[in-house]
Every structure is written in C-alpha cells, then in structure tokens.
Amino acid sequence: MPPRVDNVKCDGCRNEREALCELICPGNLMALDTETNKGYCRSPRDCWDCMSCTKICPKGAIETRIPYQLGYYSAKLVPFTGTGKMTWTVVDIDGKVERFTFRTRNK
C-alpha cells in the first residue's frame, strides 16, 4: 500500500532545505506539491512499502496502511523514530492499539 500523507499534519518540512520524504525515498517516488507544499507519492503503484518516508517524517504525517491481505482497510502501522529507539504503533481492524519499542543504533 502506498504511503498516505495527512495534509493537515504535513508542513512540507518547512524547516528543512528539502522535504525529508523526497530525500529518503529510494525509488524517487515522493515529491512536494508546489501549490500546496504537501508531500505526495507521485507513482503509488511503484511504491514497494519500504516505509522510509513514513519513518523519517518529523510530523508523523505519513502512514502506511497494512495491505488488506494482512489487516483489511482500517488497520495501519505507524513508526516513530526517536533517539536510540523506534516505536511501532499497530492499529488492528477493530481499532485496538498496541505499541512496540525497540532500541536502534541511531543516535
């Protein structure tokens, strides 16, 4: 499932020289709309769900929906990268929320 950008949360990385989702996307699929200054995926069918944009977004404005084969429409997986740790929030199809925090090598 391609990334979904919450246009209310996305500020186009206004404190950065370039939108971080654009910089990190290994497929060069993320872009910044020049009219709205919001991130978007310019070719959703080519996205392979690496979640790099989702993980790097400082506003938590990008989420990846879990493919219907695994979790149906309303399920989602949201990462939050902190200093030395990453927290994954899993929302299942019934709205049940679980969080898992792991240490990383990021400083």
End-to-end CA distance of the chain: 30
**Is 88 among the catalytic positions?**
no
What separation in angstroms does the CA of 84 have from each of 13, 58, 103, 104, 106? 22, 15, 6, 5, 5
| Catalytic residue selected from 8, 48, 95, 103 | 48
> CA nearest 40: which of 52, 54, 29, 28?
29
Sign of torsion, CA 49 55 56 57? positive
Is the Cα torsion angle 89, 92, 95, 96 positive or negative in sign?
negative
Residue numbers annotated as active site? 48
